[in-house]
Amino acid sequence: MNALVIAALLLVLLTVSYQVGWSRSRKLADGKDTRLHSRPIYHGALAALFALLPAIVILGLWALFSQSVTNSFILAQLPAEVAQQQPFEVQAAVSRVQAIASGYGVIGEPTPMETAAASAYASFQQLSFLGVIAAAAALGAVGLFWAQRRIAPRLRARTEVEIFVRLALIACSTVAILTTLGIVLSLLSDALRFFSFISPLDFFFGTTWNPRFQSTGSGSAGEYGLLPLLWGTVMISIIAMLVAVPIGLMSAIYLSQYAHARVRSVVKPIIEILAGIPTIVYGFFALVTVGPFLSGLGDVIGINIRATSALTAGVVMGIMIIPFISSLSDDILGQVPRTMRDGSLGLGATQSETIRKVLLPAALPGVVGAVLLAVSRAIGETMIVVLAAGNSPVLRANPAEPTSTVTVSIVNQLTGDADFTSPQSLVAFALGLTLFAMTLLLNVLALYIVRKFREQYE
């Protein structure tokens, strides 16, 4: 209902103001010898902007502040001792009044005080809504009035509209910056709150991960040693790279240097299908197929391999990363100048010698960059390890045993009834910060290497 009223108001403002700007500017030029600087549509658009922007600002302010205003209004209705209680009790009292006012009712009989507050709140709500709508409409009308007074043949309406468009474009491109800023600030602030419980030394150099279940009143906060998780992450990434780099690199080499164009046009898209499959599907694949297969294989050759282990997760993650490595290496191999290859072949080297001794050394920095990008993707990968790594955060060297990673622990600590105040859930942000820093470092390094490599051959 409220949303409909607001939408209708904005729509009416838009149509009326556009029409006013458009028709008035046309009338100026109509049949006379004056020439408008801008076409009527720009005058219309400018008038619409003048009318809509103030209205939208008012509505936006209301959306931001209505909650705190209504809260303080309700508190003012209730006796003073209510406001002196604990914050959550105050909040409960306020929501009780709101529930009574909404007509859905509450548990227990409402006190006369509450009923009175609720009816006051209900009329306040109605009045404030009407007031805001009226204010928005009035400001819109004022804006429109001003805009139409300004309309003149020499008004540079197009330039003004274009400036506004430019500003809107700039605002959109800051979203990306704000996102990064939001990530860094939210991770940092919550991580700092976590470090007020646990010393950073214990976190970064601890060897035991045992956060305990969060239960109010229990004295012990648990142990939060990062090293077991970090080691699990590194081990799984190494296994993934051992699978992905040889297969990905060799298929890229074969497809770009040996394969017939027809084969290439069929095989390349098929391999790239692997990149489009959601990670949860890989996780399920690891759990249902690869894990049992590896553990069966282990039985045959006499090694005890657990079905959910670092090995399972690493192998499947490697499969996921194959197309990533192969398409990046393909690009990079394509950038090595043809003359180098032709020179080597002309001197009598076989094709594989050309590749191994000329192409690959020339492409090495780029390939290293690609592998680093792949590593950063591997350490940030979540669903495969959640399902297939076995979730056992113990420092172990054996890849055939279950393990756990940074990402798994973030998921474990933040799913469930997290209340963002206990170290048990705050630790997720410290882990996230570590993860973010690691991937950022790897990416910056990798992009730097790849760029250097490109410059070399440009």
Partner 1 sequence: MTDTVLPGAAAGAQNRERVRKSLTRRHRNETLFRWAGILSIAAALGFVAILFGMILSKGLPSFWQSTVHFEAYFDPELIQGGPRPERADFASPADHQQAVNTWQRAVTMSNWNKIVETGLREAAPDFEIESRDLLELVTSAGRFQLRDIYFADPEVLGQTVPVSILASANTDNWLKGTIDRSQPDERQQLAATTRALADQFEENGTISFDFAWHIFTNVDSRSAPATAGLAGAFMGSLYMMIVVIVLAVPIGVASAVYLEEFAPKNRLTDLIEVNINNLAAVPSIVFGLLGAAVFINYFGLPRSAPLVGGLVLTLMTLPTIIIATRAALRAVPPSLRQAALGLGASHNQTVFHHVLPMTYPGVLTATIIGVAQALGETAPLLLIGMSAFIANIPAGPLDSATALPVQIYLWQGNENRNFFEARTSAAIIVLLGLMLLLNAIAIFLRSRLEKRA
Binding residues for partner 1 restricted to 411-430, rule: CB under 8 A: 411, 414-415, 418, 420, 428-429
- The sign of the CA dihedral 116, 121, 124, 130 is negative
Nearer to partner 1 (CB atom), residue 183 or residue 221:
183
d(CA 113, CA 110): 8
Nearer to partner 1 (CB atom), residue 139 or residue 253:
253
d(CA 402, CA 306): 7
d(CA 296, CA 68): 61
Q: Smallest gap, in angstroms, from Cβ of residue 8 to partner 1?
A: 19
Nearer to partner 1 (CB atom), residue 145 or residue 195:
195
Residue 99 found at the interface with partner 1 (CB under 8 A): no
Stretch that binds partner 1, among 94-102, 160-168, 300-308, 389-397 (CB under 8 A): 160-168
Stretch that binds partner 1, among 82-90, 127-135, 144-152, 349-357 (CB under 8 A): 349-357
Residue 173 found at the interface with partner 1 (CB under 8 A): yes
Nearer to partner 1 (CB atom), residue 99 or residue 120:
99
Q: Which stretch of DSSP H or E encloses residue 378?
A: helix 360-380
Site for partner 1 in 369-408 (CB under 8 A): 373, 376-377, 379-383, 386-387, 407
d(CA 375, CA 324): 11
Q: Is 243 helix (H, G, I), strand (E, B) or coil?
A: helix
Residue 107 found at the interface with partner 1 (CB under 8 A): no
Residue 357 found at the interface with partner 1 (CB under 8 A): no
Residue 418 is which amino acid? A
Torsion, Cα 278 282 287 288, to 10 degrees, reads 100
Count other C-beta atoms under 10 Å from residue 212's C-beta.
Answer: 13
Residue 254 found at the interface with partner 1 (CB under 8 A): yes
Q: Smallest gap, in angstroms, from Cβ of residue 251 to partner 1?
A: 4
Interface residue with partner 1 among 2, 34, 186, 207 (CB under 8 A) is 186
In order of 188, 404, 436, 441, 446, the CA distances from 377 in angstroms are: 22, 17, 11, 12, 12
Residue 7 found at the interface with partner 1 (CB under 8 A): no
Residue 169 found at the interface with partner 1 (CB under 8 A): yes
